[in-house]
Amino acid sequence: MTLRLITAPAVEPVTVAEVMAWSRIDTSSQEPAPGGVTPVLGAGAGNVDNGAHRYRVTFVTVDGETQAGTISAAVTVIDKTVNGKVELTAIPLGGAVVTARKLYRTAAGGSAYLLLATLGDNTTTAYTDTIADSALGAGAPAVNTTTDPMLGMLIKAARKVAENITGRGFITQTWERVLDKFPVNELEIGMLPIQSITSLKYYDSAGDLQTLSTADYVLDADTLPGWVLPAYGVSWPTTFDMAQAVITRFVAGYGSTGLTVPAEIRMWISVQVAAAYNAPEGMMSSSGAFVPRPLPFIDGLLDAYRLRWI
């Protein structure tokens, strides 16, 4: 009997921001906002509108974007048909996790910082601005959404450990239960909560793959650990003598967002992530596997969700 993952959860039961807030992990784990850029008036005609302009920069990582950094000195375009360009130098470089930077600028005489350009690297330090005010984009972010990449990795690892302990899938995910033949009576799923059966396929006595009609079986999603039973008056068909002859594909999980997952499970994950983040030497084995530190009260939060057979 084999249980194999087909489609992994699209999100985690808790977000990085929730873990940071619940576990009081401070913003030192975030990429700091960048310093200022140096703007000087360039030579030649351009499209930068007449008036005073200021600039700010943000760092971009795989997790998010910092808030806008230090405000630059003002540079004033008098006549854009003569000097309508602004040369930016000393564009700040970020840390190792920074994948891009975004440049923001005010419209002439304005105070809001609007997207000027995205530098898709962490190496370029100069840029020539020839953009009109009307072509500026979205406003600069006021909140830093970057995180230490370790937090995301720990959340995923803690969720997998909790799913293994409880025998449950938390966020909507697709699995297959594979058997060598049909059981005598009910077919055990072994994971909760079960949302639906996608298909029940089998290799018939001739070795051909068949899909059993949904009218021929019923799902018992409420009785641990979840069962599929033949419908009244129906018997399981004979299968070919081979490995993995019966394949039940099903969808499990509480829902598609973290808020659908019970609070006790979400708290367990958050506490384990905080413990691992603050004391990694006690949480990671020599092979790099996630090993939860014994936390009796916190571990008790999962007790009500463990699969048990009586």
Residue 97: predicted pLDDT: 85
- Per-residue pLDDT, 282: 57
Q: What is the pLDDT of residues 98-144, one digit of tens each?
A: 999 999 999 999 999 999 999 999 999 999 999 999 999 999 999 88
Question: Tokens standing for 207?
Answer: 């070795």
Q: Over range 296-301, report the average pLDDT.
A: 78
Query: Which phi and psi angles does 119 have, rounded to 5°?
Result: -95, 115
User: In sequence order, what are the beta bridge partners of 219?
Assistant: 228
Q: How far apart are the C-alpha atoms of 139 and 137, rounded to whole Å?
A: 7
Q: What is the chain's length?
A: 310
Three-state helix/strand/coil letters over 179-221: ECCCCCCCEECCCECEEEEEEEEEEECCCCEEECCHHHEEEEC
The pLDDT confidence band at residue 285, using thresholds 50, 70 and 90, is: low
Q: Could you give the CA distance from residue 25 to residue 207 in angstroms, rounded to a whole number?
A: 57
Q: What is the pLDDT of residues 220-278, one digit of tens each?
A: 998 888 899 999 999 999 999 999 999 999 999 999 999 999 999 999 999 888 888 87
Paired tokens of 133: 């005010």
Q: How far is CA 185 from CA 112, 175, 223, 247, in A?
A: 69, 21, 15, 16
